[in-house]
Amino acid sequence: MPARVLITETLAAVASDWLGERADVAWCAYDDAGLDEQLSEAQGLVVRTYTIVDEGFLDRAPKLRVIGRAGVGLDNIDLEACKRRGVRVVHTPDANTQAVVEYVLALMLDRYRPRTDIPMGADAEAFHNLRKTEVGTQLDQLTLGIVGFGRIGKRLGKAAHAIGMNLWVCDLLPEVELRKAVDYPFEYVDHATLYAGCDVVSLHVDGRAGNRHMIDGDALKHLRDDCLFINAARGMLVEGDALARWAESNPRAGVALDVHDPEPPPPGSYPLYGLPNVRLLPHIASRTEQALDNMSWVVRDVVAVLEGREPGCPAV
């Protein structure tokens, strides 16, 4: 009899169809009233971002053998609790790297290369006024600070170096290890030095507890007053009230946030709403067709575990 696999969030059709040929697949949203009934029989589980797998969740899934996270980060899964219960966890660590890198580059170009379409019916004066006002800055004149030099940080550095940007990097790993992993130059600096010296600061660190609010008032005081600050990693890295105060105090600066804490951001109390130099985006850095397909293929490792084989990308 095929194993029962429960899917609680969206999955690419080609991957879910493939899984359906090898398992008894059930669908139930993570916030659906019928979730407990489905969990009671599930041997496999496929989640994305919003299904929180903690001790209480695992208590409701006594037959669970494997959890597939269709994505990269594992912040929504209690790995230690899974390990204690013998539940394997698999994910897709490189599935969205290219998508996020392209997205961050696009955010930089939005900021430094303004490009406004010619309005319908524009006369010669309006045309030439646009040419006078839409004057940008080339990226090869800028220094990019990459905070967190993992898969995405390294790929972003490679792309930015190819464009001609100057690169500064800070990371928990020692400099010698990072230099072995790439074939392009960068400056290895501490956080305060990076914040003070870079035109663009982009976060690419993980969601471990120690990184919560790493961008707080103390960190922000080092940023240049014309810096572009980008967070397409995790919302919990940023202390929202402090960032709002910094953005208000530095009108020449720019902020682009693709991730938020909480998510979605509450319309009545999120301090970063309504600020003219802050862009709030709906967590779409990894939303390309290719990346979504790549993440959905976590089902291959889910099936591998259920069939008694070792998965390709285990977290637990």
What's the structural domain count of the chain?
Answer: 2
Same domain, yes or no: 179 and 63: no
Same domain, yes or no: 119 and 248: yes
* 159 located within any domain: yes
Has 283 been annotated as catalytic?
Answer: yes
Q: Which domain holds residue 8?
A: 4-95+290-306
Spot the catalytic one: 179, 212, 245, 283.
Answer: 283
Same domain, yes or no: 176 and 32: no
* 55 located within any domain: yes
Spot the catalytic one: 155, 234, 260, 300.
Answer: 234
The predicted model scores a pTM of 0.92
Higher pLDDT, 202 or 207: 202
Same domain, yes or no: 175 and 136: yes
pLDDT at 1: 83
**What's the CA dihedral at 68, 69, 75, 78 to 10 degrees?**
-10
- The CATH number of whichever domain residue 30 belongs to comes to 3.40.50.720
Which pairing describes strands 88-90 and 66-69: parallel, antiparallel, or unpaired? parallel
Has 287 been annotated as catalytic?
Answer: no
Spot the catalytic one: 41, 175, 187, 263.
Answer: 263
Task: Summarize pLDDT for 276-310 with one digit per residue, the tens.
Answer: 999 999 999 999 999 999 999 999 999 999 999 99
Task: Summarize pLDDT for 49-92 with one digit per residue, the tens.
Answer: 999 999 999 999 999 999 999 999 899 999 999 999 999 999 99
Task: Summarize pLDDT for 104-131 with one digit per residue, the tens.
Answer: 999 999 999 999 999 999 999 999 999 9
* 149 located within any domain: yes
Has 234 been annotated as catalytic?
Answer: yes
